[in-house]
Amino acid sequence: MISVKNAQMSSCYQPANDASMLDANNNCIAHSNSQLFNQSFNQDESMNGEHDINEPKTNLIVNYLPQNMTQDEIKALFSSIGPVESCKLIKDKLTGQSLGYAFVNYQIQGDAEKAVNTLNGMRLQNKTIKVSHARPSSESIKGANLYVCGLDKDFGQADLEKMFSSFGTIISSKILSDPKTGASKGVGFVRFDQRYEAEIAISELNGKCYDNMQEPLIVKFANSPTSVKSVMGLPLAPFIPINRGFYQPYRPSASNSYRYSPMTPYCSPDQTSLNTPILPTPLTGMIPATPSPQTPSLATSLPNTPVAPVPTMVPTMVNGQTTAILSTPPTSISNTSLSSINYSGWCIFVYNVGPDTDESLLWQLFGPFGAVQNVKIIRDQQTLKCKGFGFVTMTNYEEAVTAINCLNGFNLNNRILQVSFKTQAKQMY
DNA sequence: CGACGGGACGC
DNA sequence: CGACGGGACGC
C-alpha cells in the first residue's frame, strides 16, 4: 500500500523507540528486549554513518509497475521530469518477465525529488505506482519481509505497525482483507528496513499472544515469490474506481457503450480559484478537496501527489489480444488517417491543454487507461510554452479508444479537452 | 476562433 | 481449518 512510508523513508530511517508502548499494551510477551533494541539502533547508526552523508539522492526505486510496462516506457515517463541518467527495469533472469519494479537514477537530485512528488501514487493501468528513494544497495536489506497471521479481525494496519515498530524501521505494511467485504483476513505483512530487524521481530513475537489476542501470532519470513502471476487470465477489471471527480465528459454519446457517466467536477465550488496552482505541479488543481473514502491514506499522506482518475468499470473490450490488431485498423476508424498508427502503437492527438502543461500531465491522463509508450507536449521554441496540444502513443487499440472516449470533452482546469486519434502526419519517410 | 511533433541508423 | 500482497533493492 502506498502510505505514509515515503515520508518516513526519505526523512529518517531511525525507528521510534516504542518499547514502552509495547510493554503497556502487551500482557503476554516477555519484557526483555530493551538490550536488543539498543544494539540494533547502534548498528543502524554506524551503518548510516558510513555512506550517504552528502551523496546526492538521485536514485529512485519504482514499485508496483504494470506487468507489461517496458523499460523504455518507464524511462519515457520519468524523463518527463528531467534528464534520466539510467533506468533499469528488473526482470526475471530466466523468463525475461518484468518483476514489477525498477530503478531510475536522475542526473540531478532536484529532479529525483520532483519525481517522487509528481509520480508517486500515479495510476498506470491497474496499478498505483510507488516512487521512493532507493536505499544504498546492500545485502542487509534483503529478505526483510515478514508474514504475520493470527491477527484479530479488528486489527488494522496502524495496529500492525504499532506492534512491530519497536523492532526497527518499517518500510511497508499491509493487512489482507476480503476485496468484497473489506473484512480482515487476519493476515498481514511487515517489511523492515533491515533483515536483522525482521529477525528480532520473529524471535520476539512468533508464537506469542499480543495484547490479549484470541490466538498466538505466527510471525515468519514471507515466501519469496517465484513465478509471475499470470496477467493474461485477468479480465483487466482492476480498473479500480477512485471517484476522484476528475473526468467530466460533456458530450454524452449514445453509441459509446463504454463511456462512463459524468462525475462531480474536479473543481468543487470551494476551490474554484485553483486555476493558478499554489503548489508546484500543474496537476495540483486536479486534486479534490475531499479525499476519496476508498483511499484515505493516499490522500492524506500524499497531498501533493496528483492521482489520475480511473474509469469506473469499463465494460469488456480489452482482453489479451494486442499486436495483431495493429496491422488491421478496425472499421470503426476506417475514416481515420493511418497516421495514427505507427506500427508500434496508436497516436492520439490531445488538444486544448494549458500553456504550462508538461509531459507528466499526459501520463496522468492516459496512464490509467492502458499501456502508454510515449507522450509529447508541443512547445513554442522561443517561450517553451505549450502550444496547447500534445500527442500520446498507446500500444493497444481498445485502450486507446477507451481513453479517447473518456477523455474527449473533459473539463480540465476549465478547458474542454479534445481528444482523438491523430489525423495528420508530417510527411513520413 | 483556435487545431495534428519531431528526432532518428543506434552496442 | 487455512490463509503469502501489488514479486520492495539491481534476475
Domain with residue A126: its CATH number is: 3.30.70.330
Cell numbers for A285, please give them. 488543481
Q: Are residues A216 and A147 in the same domain?
A: yes
Could you give the CA distance from residue A40 to residue A139 in angstroms, rounded to a whole number?
16
Q: Which residue has the higher pLDDT, A201 or A301?
A: A201
Number of structural domains found in chain A: 3
First to last CA, chain A: 47
When pLDDT is cut at 50, 70 and 90, the band that residue A214 belongs to is confident
Chain CA centroid to CA A325, Å: 29
Band (A55; pLDDT cuts 50, 70, 90): confident
Nucleotide nearest to A418 (CA to C1'): B3
User: Please, which residues have CB within 8 angstroms of residue A278's CB and are 6 or more apart in sequence?
Assistant: A284
Asked if residue A146 and residue A128 are part of one domain, the reply reads no
Q: Answer yes or no: is A150 CB < 7 A from strand C.
A: yes
One domain for residues A125 and A146: no
Q: Which nucleotide is nearest, taking the CA of residue A375 and each C1'? A: B5
pLDDT digits (tens, 9 = 90+) for A95-104: 999 999 999 9
pLDDT of residue A85: 96
Structure confidence at residue A289 as a pLDDT band (50, 70, 90): very low
Residue ending a domain, choose from A224, A249, A271:
A224
Q: Tell me the DSSP string of A47-109.
A: HHHHS-SS----EEEEES--TT--HHHHHHHHHTTS-EEEEEEEE-TTT--EEEEEEEEESSH
> Of A224, A240, A267, which marks where a domain is finished?
A224
Predicted confidence (pLDDT) at residue A14 exceeds the cutoff of 70: no
- Domain presence at residue A69: yes
The answer for residues whose C-beta is within 8 angstroms of residue A219's C-beta and 6 or more apart is A146, A147, A148, A201, A202, A205, A206
Residue A176 domain boundaries: 142-224
Q: Is residue A260 part of a domain?
A: no
Q: Is A184:A153 a contact under the CB 8 Å cutoff?
A: yes
Q: Please check the confidence at residue A162 and state whether its pLDDT lies above 90.
A: yes
Distance (Å, whole) CA A49 – CA A57: 15
pLDDT bracket for residue A229 (50, 70, 90): low
* Nearest nucleotide to A97, CA against C1' atoms: C11
Question: Exposure of A371 by Cβ count < 10 A (0-12 exposed, 13-18 middle, 19+ buried)?
Answer: buried
In a domain, A294, yes or no: no
Residues 78-117 of A with CB under 7 A from strand C: 86, 88, 90-93, 95, 97-101, 103, 105
Instruction: Indicate whether A48 belongs to any domain.
Output: no
Report yes or no on A27 lying in a domain. Answer: no
Percent of chain A with pLDDT over 90: 54
Domain-ending residue, one of A193, A224, A255: A224
**Same domain (yes/no): A151, A126:** no
Grid cell of A256 as nine digits: 459509446
**In-domain check, residue A173:** yes
Residues 6 or more apart from A223 whose CB is under 8 A from it? A147
Distance of A309 CA from C3 C1′ (whole Å): 33
Look at residue A43 in the predicted model and tell me its pLDDT: 40
Separation of A362 CA and B7 C1' (Å): 20
| Judgement on whether residues A113 and A160 belong to the same structural domain of the protein | no
- Per-residue pLDDT, A211: 83
Q: Is residue A25 part of a domain?
A: no
User: Are residues A124 and A181 both part of a single domain?
Assistant: no
Residue A333 lies in a domain: no
Bridge partner residues of A415 (DSSP): A412
